[in-house]
Structures are given as C-alpha cells and as structure tokens.
Amino acid sequence: SQTIHQWPATLVQPVGSPLSLECTVEGTSNPNLYWYRQAAGRGLQLLFYSVGIGQISSEVPQNLSASRPQDRQFILSSKKLLLSDSGFYLCAWDGQGRSGYTFGSGTRLTVV
C-alpha cells in the first residue's frame, strides 16, 4: 500500500534561519507531489507541485523553494525564514487519480 511520510512534525525556528522539510512517498512510482501551507484557522494554499524528478512548478511567489531530487522525495526549503512563513505545511500526492489526494501528517512551523 502507498504511504506518505513527512517530518519533522513540529519545528520552531528563529527569523533568518534556513528551513528544510522533507516528504517521501512509498509504494508507488512517479507520483505527482504537492506542498500546501495552511495559516492558522485558514484554508490550504498550494505552494509547489512536481510531476517528476527536477520538475517543480511554483504557484505563488514567496520566500520558499522546492526540490525533487528523487522520484519519491519532495523537499521544501528556505534560505532565510520570515515570521510570515509560520504555518502548517502539508505534503500530498495525488493517488494517480484513483482515490483522491493523500496528505502527510504535516509540519507545524513557528518562526520566532
């Protein structure tokens, strides 16, 4: 069966520090992968999506970047965090159209 792993679960980082969040998928190949952000009490905003290794599409201009170094690995990064980067970050894969999107457990990032 397919599973999606995301870590860390919680992160507190100072302003100006770097960020690296990792997401991996098991049990499938060539998945479409997505990063979403959810601000407190709000909906989900699509940040990046990837259809394959090295292929990244950005949805909104921001302080973040994404990379896909391996087929089942998707990384969200920042060189210098801003206070506004705080939020709940969710990785997802699209289930190849069969069962809808599956989300990881999320990373709660607080920038202080």
As a whole number of angstroms, the distance between CA 41 and CA 57 comes to 26
Question: In the stretch 66-95, what mask flags binding to another protein with x, by CB under 8 A?
Answer: ------------------------x---x-
Q: Does 46 interact with another protein (rule: CB under 8 A)?
A: yes
3-state DSSP assignment of residue 36: strand
CB of 100 to another protein, least distance (A): 4
Annotate 42-76 with DSSP letters as a single string: S-EEEEEEEEETTEEEESS-SS-EEEEEETTEEEE
Residue number, 20 or 105, with CB nearest to another protein = 105
Q: Does 104 interact with another protein (rule: CB under 8 A)?
A: yes
